[in-house]
Amino acid sequence: MDGVIRSVGIVGAGQMGNGIAHVCAASGFDVRLSDRDPARIQAALSVIDANLTRQAQKGVIGEYERAEALARIHPADDIEDLGVCDLVIEAATEDEQTKYRIFDALCPVLKPDALLATNTSSISITRLAASTDRPERFIGIHFMNPVPVMHLVELIRGIATDDPTYESAKRFIAKLGKTATMSEDFPAFIVNRILLPMINEAVYTLYEGVGSVESIDTAMKLGANHPMGPLQLADFIGLDTCLSIMQVLYEGLADSKYRPCPLLVKYVEAGWLGRKSKRGFYDYRSGTPVPTR
């Protein structure tokens, strides 16, 4: 590879994966979207089509640009279809063992000079890179959710990540029209190192009866000028994802201030994961969010 990224593979067609595919295709990259469940790829394409259509209706992009972007996204029904890509981004669930299994299947089919990245929001880049055949060409590229809307991308170098890989990743993010910030490879990086303990503290505030769901979210929206309350935001992120990041912080930094709130654990055990399961700190089943506490 000449250091120029032209084609991007994405493993995982969920909320993050379809958002990454959207912005890559809209920025002129050829995209291969892979998922172990072919139905998820088709669902992702429908979401991307709807989001691009919404952008066209608002005048953010033209109708021709919408159609061109959609045409650049190709379903990768087999992992081997990603072998043509210059960069492959893993955007699967925030589970370390799942990521290892993906890299084991992916590395043998990649071009020798292809770059490999992970969209992990908290897991050690150095540790993930060490499980691959290309730690020098491995980097963390952490997009914020929702990807088409959020401007920031965290770039995280593992201990083995070489300079050409980092420079290629920076150019890639710039071409997406986003701003890159460099984080050292510590648990949860920058954004989630600060954000998730705040959310966890909001859950403790609820757990200890200091305030209700509604009063906590209203207090932070109007008292701290946050666009979204912390419990509403937790539901948007996914309570299982919030819990997994807090567990990474707690285990990785061995500090009791990062202990996940027992109430957060309880909600996840109940399968109340937020918006995606229709119940979390709010109940979404009626179409109007109703606080559950």
Distance CA 93, CA 45 (A): 19
Unique residue bearing structure tokens 């190709």 = 74
- 154, 183, 200, 244: the active-site residue: 154
Token pair, residue 100, equals 């290892």
Question: How far from each other are the two terminal CA atoms of the chain, in whole angstroms?
Answer: 54
Q: Which residue has the tokens 């710039």?
A: 174
For residues 234 and 220, the answer to whether their CB atoms sit within 8 Å is: no
Q: Which of 7, 34, 119, 121 is catalytic?
A: 121
Beta-bridged to residue 34, according to DSSP, are 11, 76
Catalytic residue at 142? yes
Residue 186: left if φ>0, alpha if ψ -120 to 50, beta else—which one? Answer: beta
Q: Which helix (H) or strand (E) holds 183?
A: strand 179-183
Output the six-digit token pair for 185.
Answer: 């490879």
CA distance 261 to 270: 15
Is 121 catalytic? The answer is yes
Catalytic one of 34, 74, 142, 244:
142
Q: 3-state DSSP call for residue 60?
A: coil
Q: Per DSSP, what are the bridge partners of residue 88?
A: 9, 116
Q: Tokens at residue 218, please?
A: 């209203």
Give the residue ranges of DSSP H helices in the chain: 15-26, 38-57, 63-71, 96-106, 125-130, 163-175, 191-207, 213-223, 230-237, 239-253, 262-269
Annotated catalytic sites, by residue? Answer: 121, 142, 154, 192
